[in-house]
Chains A and B, each alone.
Chain A
């Protein structure tokens, strides 16, 4: 059969080794690790608050309808209360990854 044939050429292997080597170097330089994600909360009048997800906190954001309360806990941010009529943001609950 094809016992003496190889699937990959020397150049193929070289490309793979370079890729794996580059990935390992980047890993050791600190890539691939989260540095503690943050959530960015914006509001009226240029209000902006960067909350680290690693620490629990409560942020009050003033808007056109009133004050919205955002809670950060267990590495997640969610709206705790809102002055909007249907409170869809509150009912959304825990954030889910975008698809």
Chain B
């Protein structure tokens, strides 16, 4: 707000960053998407899950929209803040679940950022989402293997994790694509 007031007082248009947003607009969108990510996390937590590790990753929809509209740094900020806030709310902050969620979240968003930068196109938003889901699950298996179970159980879970990644990355990617299209931010 202060920046906007200063630039108006100076008779200049607000400066826009590389993504075309003013600083205030970027912060507003960042906050809104963080709220959406937390709401989606809460909704998913209320859904019954047959296995603890089998999660759709609905919050990734907000991360993916942030990545496409704001960039990697802001998407990473949303992911880190979402994991911290959610863990504080449910009481798992700095516990094993927190470490797994943070490792998976950071790996997923960095993977999506690289895929978006290097291969969008030929990949679409859906393909970027699948890449993120795979790296999310691989990072979690890596932490599980390195700190808790050793390589055996993690390797046995690997094929299941790959199939789950394909399905959940596809689902969240399609939802994010529809949302981005409705918002007029991408065209097929």
Asked whether, in the complex, the Cβ of A97 is within 8 Å of the Cβ of B52, the reply is: yes
Asked whether, in the complex, the Cβ of A12 is within 8 Å of the Cβ of B126, the reply is: yes
Residues of chain B within 8 A of A97, CB atoms compared: 52
A47: interface (CB < 8 Å): no
Asked whether, in the complex, the Cβ of A8 is within 8 Å of the Cβ of B188, the reply is: no
Residue of B52, B119, B170, B174 touching A11 (CB-CB under 8 A):
B119
A41 to B126, CA, bound (A): 46
Interface size class of chain B, counting residues whose CB lies under 8 Å from the partner chain: 20 to 34
A16: interface (CB < 8 Å): yes
Closest B residue by C-beta to A5: B188
Asked whether, in the complex, the Cβ of B126 is within 8 Å of the Cβ of A19, the reply is: no
Interface size class of chain A, counting residues whose CB lies under 8 Å from the partner chain: 20 to 34
Asked whether, in the complex, the Cβ of A23 is within 8 Å of the Cβ of B177, the reply is: no
Asked whether, in the complex, the Cβ of A12 is within 8 Å of the Cβ of B123, the reply is: yes
Asked whether, in the complex, the Cβ of A12 is within 8 Å of the Cβ of B127, the reply is: yes
Type the 1/0 row for B47-86, where 1 means its CB is closer than 8 Å to any CB of A.
Answer: 0000010000000000000000000000000000000000
Residues of chain A within 8 A of B11, CB atoms compared: none
B122: interface (CB < 8 Å): yes
* Contacts known (A16-B130, A19-B134, A20-B166); A9 close to B159, Cβ less than 8 A: no
Closest B residue by C-beta to A16: B166
Asked whether, in the complex, the Cβ of A11 is within 8 Å of the Cβ of B162, the reply is: no
Type the 1/0 row for B120-140, where 1 means its CB is closer than 8 Å to any CB of A.
Answer: 011110110011001000000
Q: Which residues of B contact A (CB under 8 A)?
A: 52, 119, 121-124, 126-127, 130-131, 134, 152, 155-160, 162-163, 165-166, 170, 174, 177, 188
